[in-house]
């Protein structure tokens, strides 16, 4: 009799625990797996189109979409930034959203040139920043932080290198690259990216719940 009673209480508490867990997560996204952490953004210092210093610290608390382009490009860049403008329009009113467009040709894309380009887009320069700086620093960030170019390309002489990529990265409020790398020329991947941005905007600044180990 005592054995049956013990099993009754154990079963009862197990059922209560299950019901409590279901009630806790019901109607929320807490049960879903978090988007994977792919990398952490390394420290950097660049210059915006307004001549302001921009570092990794300026990203903290923001969900950032990151791209590389150059202003005199007549190939994929105009298409990329037409698509990026749509992303900007979708999220421009959210206080925790930011687009970061790095030039891959800093010799020609000075801060004033980037300002002229950004003004032509009629955007809020606080919501979409255009960044220039040293070529080696810009390229190092693309490869080692945002995973937008093959690190093996860094073996070439920096003067012979030129990044020309259609891929975008998404960085969370803690400075971590999340989810996957997206093709900015493919509408289906852009839609997936926007879903990721919406999910990351709900997260708070703090430890990321993943098993990623920082180097």
Strand-pair category, 97-103 with 37-40 = unpaired
Q: Is 104 annotated as a binding residue?
A: no
Q: Sign of dihedral through CA atoms 119, 121, 122, 128?
A: negative
Question: What does residue 96 show for φ and ψ, rounded to 5 degrees?
Answer: -105, 25
64 is in an annotated binding site: no
Phi, psi of 147 (to 5 degrees): 60, 35
For the stretch 60-83, what's the b/e string if a residue is b when 16 or more beta carbons lie within 10 angstroms of its beta carbon? eebbbbbbbbbbebeeebeebbeb
Q: Hey, how many other C-beta atoms are within 10 angstroms of the C-beta on 210?
A: 14
164 marked ligand binding residue: yes
Q: Give the residue ranges of the annotated binding site.
A: 73, 77, 164
Sequence ranges of the binding site for Cu cation: 73, 77, 164
């Amino acid at each position: 009799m005592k054995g049956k009673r013990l099993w009754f209480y154990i079963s009862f508490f197990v059922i209560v625990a299950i019901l409590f867990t279901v009630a806790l997560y019901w109607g929320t996204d807490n049960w879903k797996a978090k988007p994977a952490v792919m990398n952490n953004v390394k420290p950097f210092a660049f210059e915006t189109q307004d001549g302001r210093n921009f570092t990794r610290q300026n990203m903290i608390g923001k969900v950032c979409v990151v791209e590389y382009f150059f202003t005199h490009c007549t190939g994929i860049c105009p298409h990329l930034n037409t698509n990026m403008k749509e992303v900007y329009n979708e999220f421009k009113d959210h206080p925790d959203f930011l687009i970061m467009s790095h030039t891959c040709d800093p010799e020609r894309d000075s801060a004033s040139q980037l300002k002229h380009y950004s003004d032509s887009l009629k955007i809020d320069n606080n919501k979409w920043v255009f960044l220039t700086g040293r070529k080696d620093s810009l390229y190092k960030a693309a490869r080692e932080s945002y995973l937008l170019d093959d690190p093996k390309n860094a073996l070439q002489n920096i003067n012979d290198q030129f990044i020309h990529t259609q891929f975008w990265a998404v960085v969370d409020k803690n400075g971590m690259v999340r989810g996957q790398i997206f093709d900015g020329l493919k509408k289906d991947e852009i839609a997936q990216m926007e879903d990721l941005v919406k999910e990351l905007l709900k997260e708070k600044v703090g430890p990321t719940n993943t098993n990623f180990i920082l180097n």
